[in-house]
Amino acid sequence: MATLDTPTPAAAPVPATLNPLNRRPRDAGRSAVAKALGYSAMIVAAAAILLPFAWMVISSLKTNNQVFTVPVTWIPDPIVWQNYLDIWARSDMTTWIKNTLILSVTVTVLQVVTGSFAAYGFSKMRFKGRDALFVLYIGTIAVPWQSYMIPQFIMLSNVGLSNTLWAIIALQTFSAFGVFLMKQYFESIPEELSEAARIDGLSEYGIWRRIIMPLSVPAIASLTLLMFVNTWNDYLGPLIYLRSPDLWTIQLGLKSFIGQYNAEHALIMTGSVLSVLPVAIIFLLGQRYFVEGIASTGVKG
């Protein structure tokens, strides 16, 4: 990480030996204290961030009446794996996961293709109206989806898309996010490459497919992971559009499960763990791409 180029008290010793001002001993002592403080702050913050997740996993491995005990039991005894078998029988988890997977994969693929295609137009082509169009895209960042979900719903209902998975696909695919992320990355690719390809007779579409896309694998990876997770986690879209239970996604399903079995704390935690698990795995495997994607655009969803 590039963090390392900022001088911290810990970085002081080298110049300090040459330093005519006699402040070295105080600095060293202070830097040790600062370091210790830094580490304790980090440990405390990490604990605060992780404890809810830990509690979720631990509770999912308990029997129901062990979830709320005084004092809190941090190690379940016995460890109850049964919840992870029961949940499949007591809920439509399989349907929910299937629907969510269909949506996440379709949306991700469409978003990567149309987003990178549009990004090429915005970053590599020069034509009239381009910048005005891009301003339109940017302008919608300040417009919350909640404020236009009603007319959007009326429109999609009128064409018969409400209560179908298509509604969610339509909703998620065309977000401006993919265009931003890919545009940002495309602009870092030297123009000379495209020029050379043009002289060699490659069409613009050919340049997109053979030169730009292969060079943009990190950006594509970022977009893919962010979109997948975003669609997997989406609650509001499905809540509004997917009314029949056989279309429910994991988030909707989990929510209705909570309502239905509101006293079955352990089982609810099991469902929560299952809904978070795929995202956690994807995140751990590709966290570099998440971080780069977020840092380069600063916009999500």
| Part of the chain binding another protein (CB under 8 A), chosen from 35-43, 78-86, 184-192, 213-221 | 35-43
Q: Which is nearer to another protein, 82 or 203 (CB)?
A: 203
- Least distance (Å) between residue 294 CB and another protein: 5
Q: What is the dihedral of CA 113, 117, 122, 124, to 10 degrees?
A: 130
Per CB under 8 A, the list member of 29, 32, 35, 246 interacting with another protein is 35
Written as one letter, the residue type at 174 is F
Should residue 141 be labelled a site residue for another protein when binding is judged by CB under 8 A? Answer: yes
- Neighbour-count burial for 240-263, b at 16+ CB within 10 Å, e otherwise: bbbeeeebbbbbbbbbebeeebee
CB 185 within 8 A of CB 220: no
Should residue 155 be labelled a site residue for another protein when binding is judged by CB under 8 A? Answer: yes
Q: Give dist(CA 235, CA 145) in Å, integer.
A: 13
Should residue 70 be labelled a site residue for another protein when binding is judged by CB under 8 A? Answer: yes
What is the rounded radius of gyration, in angstroms, for the C-alpha atoms of the chain?
Answer: 25
- Least distance (Å) between residue 28 CB and another protein: 15
- Least distance (Å) between residue 110 CB and another protein: 9
| Part of the chain binding another protein (CB under 8 A), chosen from 85-93, 153-161, 189-197, 215-223 | 153-161
CB 136 within 8 A of CB 143: no
Q: Of 74-113, which residues contact another protein (CB under 8 A)?
A: 113
Compute how many residues bind another protein; rule: CB under 8 A: 106
- Least distance (Å) between residue 98 CB and another protein: 17
Should residue 144 be labelled a site residue for another protein when binding is judged by CB under 8 A? Answer: yes
- Least distance (Å) between residue 207 CB and another protein: 11
Q: Which is nearer to another protein, 82 or 157 (CB)?
A: 157
Q: Of 156-175, which residues contact another protein (CB under 8 A)?
A: 157, 170-171, 173-174
Should residue 33 be labelled a site residue for another protein when binding is judged by CB under 8 A? Answer: no
Q: Is 123 exposed, middle or buried (0-12, 13-18, 19+ CB in 10 A)?
A: buried
- Least distance (Å) between residue 160 CB and another protein: 14
Within its chain, how far is the Cα of 206 from the centroid?
31
Per CB under 8 A, the list member of 14, 18, 48, 263 interacting with another protein is 48
Q: Give dist(CA 119, CA 259) in Å, integer.
A: 43
Per CB under 8 A, the list member of 61, 93, 107, 118 interacting with another protein is 118
Q: Of 257-296, which residues contact another protein (CB under 8 A)?
A: 258, 265, 268-269, 272-273, 275-276, 279-280, 283-284, 287, 290-291, 294-295
Q: Give dist(CA 12, CA 24) in Å, integer.
A: 9
Q: Of 185-244, which residues contact another protein (CB under 8 A)?
A: 204, 208, 229, 232-233, 235-236, 239-240
